[in-house]
Amino acid sequence: MHNRPCASCRVTHHQPRCGMNSHDAIIHKLYNFETRSKEGEHRLSAAKSPLRKPRMEQEMARKKKRDLIPVVRLSITNNADDSSSLFGPGVASLCAGVREFGSLNAAAKDMKMAYSKAWRIVKETEASLGMQLLNRDGAHGSTLTEEGDKLLDAYLAIEKRLGKIAKDEFAKRFK
C-alpha cells in the first residue's frame, strides 16, 4: 500500500497495489466507468464521461415531467380556536380506520402509530373543533359520532373533488 496523487482530482488517496484508489472506486460504482491504471493515472472512457450526459438528462427531465402530479392537502379548522390542531389527512385516516375497524387502537395499528399518539391527536382535534368525533365504549372499541361521520364524509368528498380539479388544471397548464 502506498499513497500517490490521483491524476483525475489531484488528491492523494490511499491506494492498494492494484492501482485503483478509493476515489476511482467510487467513480466506477457511481458512473460505471472503465478505469485504467498506468503510473498512477486513472482515465475515464470518453463515451461514458460525466460531461457527455445531455441526452440522459433530457430523458430524465421528460420522465420527471410525465410523473408530475398535483397534491392537494385539505385541512379543516375552527377559526374561533387558537389551537394548531386541524382535521387533516392524519385525523381523517384515523377516523376512516375507526369506521372500518371499529376501534381507534386497530386504526392506529393499521397506520403504524402508537395508540397513545392516536388518542392524543383525536382529543386535541376534538377540543380544537369543539365537537366530539368518536364514541368510545371502553374495551368494545369506538365508533364515529354522527357529527364525526358527517365531517369525515364531507372531508373525503371535498378532497376527492379538489384532487380531480387540481389534476385537470395541472394537465391544462403544464404540458
All domains of the chain in start order, with CATH? 2-52 (no CATH), 89-173 (1.10.10.10)
Contact 48, 31 (CB under 8 A): yes
Answer whether residue 74 shows pLDDT above 90. yes
Which residue has 377559526 as its cell numbers?
79
How much is the mean pLDDT over the chain?
78
Contact 147, 155 (CB under 8 A): no
**Distance between CA atoms of residues 5 and 172, nearest Å:** 55
Contact 148, 95 (CB under 8 A): yes
Contact 61, 53 (CB under 8 A): no
Q: Which residue has the higher pLDDT, 67 or 129?
A: 129
- The pLDDT of residue 129 is 93
Rounded alpha-carbon distances, angstroms, from residue 91 to 14, 114, 119: 54, 14, 10
Q: Which three cell numbers, joined as nine digits, stand for 130?
A: 369543539
Residues 6+ apart with CB under 8 A from 156: 92, 96
**How many residues would you count in the chain?**
175
Highest mean pLDDT: which range of 7-11, 42-46, 62-66: 62-66
Q: pTM of the entire structure?
A: 0.62
114-124 pLDDT per residue, tens = 999 999 999 99
